[in-house]
Amino acid sequence: MVCVQQVERFTSRYASPILCSRELSSLQDPHCIRGLTVRARPAAREVLAGYAVGDTMMELTVTLPSNLPLGQVTVSGDERRAGVQKSQWRTWILQLTVFLTYQVCITTSSYCQVLNYC
């Protein structure tokens, strides 16, 4: 019987690097989508998204798990929330995490395609 740890180890070692590479390859050059600046950091398995509100830039970081597609993406934001209350900001982060996790699982789309949909 194959244990969960062996599957996770195999996935992290062999499948995840290929999948992360494919996910982030479309974002190699920073580009702008409807005012949202998006760039990838493949070495860290991260997508950085920034949106300017007035003279303040709000940024989100979407980190792909080391055991992609088994693990859940991590969404984090900086403390510059451009006038948004902390509780509202945490709610948005949680909603985006859930959306990315389940939208990608259900549609088998890439994370980048789902981010473009947002």
Is the confidence at residue 108, as pLDDT, over 50?
no
pLDDT mean across residues, the chain: 79
Instruction: Please report, as a single letter, which amino acid is at residue 45.
Output: R
The token duo for 110 is: 């890439």
Is the confidence at residue 21, as pLDDT, over 60?
yes
Query: How many domains are contained in the chain?
Result: 1
Instruction: Write out pLDDT tens, residues 23-54.
Output: 788 777 666 667 788 888 999 999 888 887 77
**Residue 17 CB neighbours (<10 A):** 14
CA distance to 10, 78, 81, per residue, from 27 (Å): 26, 21, 24
The residue segments making up the domain with residue 111 are 4-117
Instruction: Write out pLDDT tens, residues 66-77.
Output: 988 888 889 998
